[in-house]
Structure 1
Amino acid sequence: MADQAFVTLTTNDSYAKGALVLGSSLKQHRTTRRLAVLTTPQVSDSMRKVLETVFDEVILVDVLDSGDSAHLTLLERPELGVTLTKLHCWSLTQYSKCVFMDADTLVLANIDDLFEREELSAAPDPGWPDCFNSGVFVYRPSVETYGQLLRVAAEQGSFDGGDQGLLNMFFSSWATTDIRKHLPFIYNLSSISIYSYLPAFKAFGANAKVVHFLGRIKPWSYTYNPETKSVQSEPQDPTMVHPEFLSLWWDIFTTSVFPLLQQFGLATDPHSHLTVEDVSGAMSHLALGETPAPAQPSVSSEERKERWEQGQADYMGADSFDNIKRKLDTYLQ
C-alpha cells in the first residue's frame, strides 16, 4: 500500500545502524508497506546513502529539542531532548496512516495488521501502564495535528522532557477512552518488562512481535562474535536476560547491514564508531564503540524506593535481574 508506511527516526550514525536493522527486519518479514526514515543533519551523507538502500524514503528534518533539562535530569537521560524531533512524523502527509517505530526496536514477525488500528494506538509503558510507550504507535499524518503538537511543545513542554511525556499529554484520553487503541504488549515488548515480571515473559514472550531495547545500552553497544553467534556483555547486564534478541539483532546486522556499510566505506570509518578487529579473520569480532553506562552507586533503602517510583531502578546493580530473580524464587518457594 503506497499510502501507508512504517516510519523511524535517526539523529546520528549510531542510531542509523539501528534503523537499518529495523528496516531490514521489516523487509525480512515481508511487509507490504513503504519504509520511511527521518534523519537529522547529524547523520553523515554516506550513512544517508546506506539508508536509501533499505528505506523507500529518507527525509531530512530539523532537530527539535525540548531544552527541558529539569525533567530530563529526573530521567537521567539528557540526550532524550532531541527525541521531540519525532514530532516531524506527523508532517508526512503523503501517507494516510503510519506506524512509527523507534530505531532501537526489532521486528520478530509481520506486523502489517497494525494498520488496522486508529490514531493513537500504542502499548502501555512498563514503568507506568496508564501511559503509553512511544516507541511504537499508529498515527495519521496531519498538518493540523503537527501544528498542535508543536504548539503544545512550545507552550507546555513535556512532563518527562522527551517525546513520550508530550505525546501522553496530547493524547491524554488513551488510558481510559478506547481499549482498541491499547496495543497488546507483544507489539512493544520492552527489555525492562522481561525481567521485572519474568513469569509473564515465560508465559507470553514466545508470541512477541516487536522487541524494544530500552535504556542507555543499545544492541550496537555490545561486542559480537559472528563465528560463535554470541554477544559479550558485562556481568549483571539486564538486557542480556534473553540474549537471543540481541543475537538476532546482530545476526541481521552482520548479514544484511554490515555489507552495506562496507559498500559505502563506513565499515572502517572511525567516525561511525564501528571497529572491526581481526579483519583477516573475516569479521571474527565486531564492536560498536559506545561505552555502557556505569552502575549507580549504592543508595539508602528510602532513596532506592524513590528511584523505583520514578522509574529509575538500578538495573545494573542492586536491582539487577539476578537479584530480582533470587527474591522471586525465594517468594515462590
Structure 2
Amino acid sequence: MWIFSRYKDYAPLWTDVASLKQANRVHAFRIVTVLLLIFISLWYNGYAIAKLAKKWPTPLDNYQHLNPNPLLNHDFYQSLKPPALSETAVLTSMYTDSYATAIATLGHSLDRVNSTATRLLFYLPEHISAEALCIATATGFVPHPVSRISPPRNGDGTNKRFLDAYSKLNLWTLGDAGYTAVVHLDADTLVLRNFDELFTLPYRFGAVPDVYVGTHGFALEFNTGVIYARPDTVVFRDMMEKMQTLSYDGLQADQAFLNQYYAAAAVRLPYAYNANLAIKKRQPAMWEDLWKRARIVHYTLVKPFLAEADNSGETIVPMEGLEANIHARMGEFDGAFKQELLEWLGQWKETYAKYGDKLRECERKADDI
C-alpha cells in the first residue's frame, strides 16, 4: 500500500521506517476485512430476500390431477351414530345490513342440500335494522341476539371491517343452550353439498388452511370463514381472559386470535369445506378438481352481494339490484370468477322465487315504519 500513497516520497523525520510500513500493512488489512464483511453481508441479505420472495414450493403449488377418490369414506360414516339434531347447529353472523341478502341465500343453499341442523343467526341488535333481520331470517335462520365482543386494545391494528368480528366467539356459549357441535359459516359462503359429517368429529376445533393470492400462498394458518367447534362456556371464559394479554397480530381480528389460541390443537379440514376463491386464482388446476367435491364455497375476493371492489359493504345493494351488481363485478380479477358468481346468482334467483313473498313483506314493513 505504501508504494501507492501520495506521500511515498515523503521523508519522515524519524528513522523507524519499518514500524511505519507495518502500520500501513495493518491498516490495509483492516480495510480489506471491512470490505469483505460488507460483501458477505450484502450477499447474505440478498439471498434471504430472494428466499422470502420465492417461497419453497408445496405439493399444492405443483398440483396435479392424481386423486380421483371420494373425499369421505361413506361406508364408515354410515356406521357412525349421528348426533341428535337438537344438539347440532349451523351458525352465521351478521354485523351490518349489507349482508342480509347473502344470509338469506345461504339459508336457501342449506335447504338445497337437506341440512338437518338447527340454523342460528348471531346479530348485534344495535347494528341491524328490522328490515335486514327480516330478510336474513326469511329462509330459516333463527335470530339469536348477542352482545358485541370488543377487540382487545381498543381495536388497535385491527382492520376496520373486522372490528365486530370478535362477536363470533359467542359461539362457545351455545353449550349452555344444549348444543354439542356447531359449524359456523361466514355470511359470504354458499353451501354446495351436505356437510353433516362435520358434526361427528370428536375434536374440539377444526378449520381449513388459508390461501393467499400473493407470495404467502398456501398457508399453515387456518381461515375462520368456516369453523367447526364444540361449544363450552369454560373455553369461552378462558378466551375472554387470555385475549386481553395474548401477543398476536390483531389485523385479522378473530381469525388471528383463534389461530393463536388453537395453534397446534386445531384440526386442519380439507379445502372442500372452505373452497376459498383465492385457490382458483392461485392454482386453477386444484380448483378444477375441488369444485367437483366442494361442500362450501367462500366468496373472499369478490362478494356478489356487495357493490364495492374492496368489499367494504358500505353501500347496501337492494334485492332488485343484485343481478346487475353481480354482472358489474364479473370483470374483476380478469373475469376469473364468472362461474362462481353465476352459481351465487342462480341460488339467489331460486331464493327469491321460493321466498319472494316473505322478502317483499320485509320491505313493506320497513316502508310502513
TM-score (norm 1): 0.70
What is the distance in 2 between the residues matched to 1:103 and 1:8? Answer: 6
Q: Give the equivalent residue in structure 2 for 1:65.
A: 150
What is the distance in 1 between the residues matched to 2:129 and 2:365? Answer: 13
What is the distance in 1 between the residues matched to 2:300 and 2:337? Answer: 14
Q: Give the equivalent residue in structure 2 for 1:133.
A: 223
**CA distance 1:40–1:115, shift in 2 (3 Å):** same
Q: Give the equivalent residue in structure 2 for 1:40.
A: 124
For each residue in 1:225-256, what CA deviation from the matched residue of structure 2 results, as whole angstroms up to 9, or x when unmatched? 99999942357512841322222222222331
More moved, 14-23 vs 42-51: 42-51
What is the distance in 1 between the residues matched to 2:255 and 2:290? Answer: 25
Q: Give the equivalent residue in structure 2 for 1:326.
A: none
SS at match of 1:22: helix
What is the distance in 2 between the residues matched to 1:199 and 1:206? Answer: 12
Q: Give the equivalent residue in structure 2 for 1:151.
A: 241
For each residue in 1:116-138, what CA deviation from the matched residue of structure 2 results, as whole angstroms up to 9, or x when unmatched? 22221111011352111111111
What is the distance in 2 between the residues matched to 1:168 and 1:228? Answer: 36
SS at match of 1:247: helix
Q: Give the equivalent residue in structure 2 for 1:170.
A: 261
SS at match of 1:206: coil
- The percentage of counterpart residues that share the same residue type is 22
Whether the aligned pair in 2 keeps the contact of 1:13 and 1:43 (CA below 8 Å) is yes
Q: Give the equivalent residue in structure 1 for 2:102.
A: 18
What is the distance in 2 between the residues matched to 1:71 and 1:220? Answer: 27
Which one-letter code corresponds to 2:111 in the other structure? K
Q: Give the equivalent residue in structure 2 for 1:88.
A: 170
Q: Give the equivalent residue in structure 2 for 1:263.
A: 361
Larger Rg: 2
> Following TM superposition, by how much is the alpha carbon of 1:13 offset from its aligned partner in structure 2, in angstroms?
1.4
Instruction: Determine if the alignment matches structure 1 residue 209 to structure 2 residue 295.
Output: yes
Which one-letter code corresponds to 1:197 in the other structure? Q
**CA distance 1:168–1:58, shift in 2 (3 Å):** same
Which one-letter code corresponds to 2:198 in the other structure? L
Instruction: Determine if the alignment matches structure 1 residue 242 to structure 2 residue 337.
Output: yes
More moved, 142-151 vs 195-204: 195-204
Q: Give the equivalent residue in structure 2 for 1:108.
A: 192
Work out which of the residue numbers 298, 322, 347 in structure 2 matches 1:252.
347
Which one-letter code corresponds to 1:84 in the other structure? Y
What is the distance in 2 between the residues matched to 1:57 and 1:267? Answer: 19
Note the residue ranges of structure 2 that are not aligned, 5 or more in a row.
Answer: 1-84, 213-217, 308-316
Whether the aligned pair in 2 keeps the contact of 1:233 and 1:240 (CA below 8 Å) is no
* Higher share of residues assigned helix: 2
**CA distance 1:228–1:10, shift in 2 (3 Å):** closer
SS at match of 2:163: helix
Instruction: Determine if the alignment matches structure 1 residue 195 to structure 2 residue 293.
Output: no
**CA distance 1:97–1:64, shift in 2 (3 Å):** same
**CA distance 1:108–1:261, shift in 2 (3 Å):** same
Work out which of the residue numbers 86, 89, 94 in structure 2 matches 1:2.
86
For each residue in 1:59-98, what CA deviation from the matched residue of structure 2 results, as whole angstroms up to 9, or x when unmatched? 11122231565533xxxx3211211111111111221111
Whether the aligned pair in 1 keeps the contact of 2:277 and 2:299 (CA below 8 Å) is yes
Q: Give the equivalent residue in structure 2 for 1:78.
A: 160
Q: Give the equivalent residue in structure 1 for 2:328.
A: 233
What is the distance in 1 between the residues matched to 2:330 and 2:185? Answer: 29
* Corresponding pairs, count: 260
Work out which of the residue numbers 151, 162, 185 in structure 1 matches 2:271.
185
More moved, 110-119 vs 81-90: 110-119
What is the distance in 2 between the residues matched to 1:34 and 1:235? Answer: 34
More moved, 2-11 vs 114-123: 114-123
SS at match of 2:349: helix
> Following TM superposition, by how much is the alpha carbon of 1:196 offset from its aligned partner in structure 2, in angstroms?
1.0
> Following TM superposition, by how much is the alpha carbon of 1:113 offset from its aligned partner in structure 2, in angstroms?
1.1
What is the distance in 2 between the residues matched to 1:123 and 1:16? Answer: 25
SS at match of 2:109: helix
> Following TM superposition, by how much is the alpha carbon of 1:142 offset from its aligned partner in structure 2, in angstroms?
1.0
Note the residue ranges of structure 1 that are not aligned, 5 or more in a row.
Answer: 176-180, 270-333
SS at match of 1:59: strand
- Report the RMSD for the aligned CA atoms in angstroms: 2.9
**CA distance 1:52–1:235, shift in 2 (3 Å):** closer
What is the distance in 1 between the residues matched to 2:140 and 2:326? Answer: 27
Q: Give the equivalent residue in structure 1 for 2:48.
A: none
SS at match of 1:150: helix
Q: Give the equivalent residue in structure 1 for 2:14.
A: none
* Higher share of residues assigned strand: 1
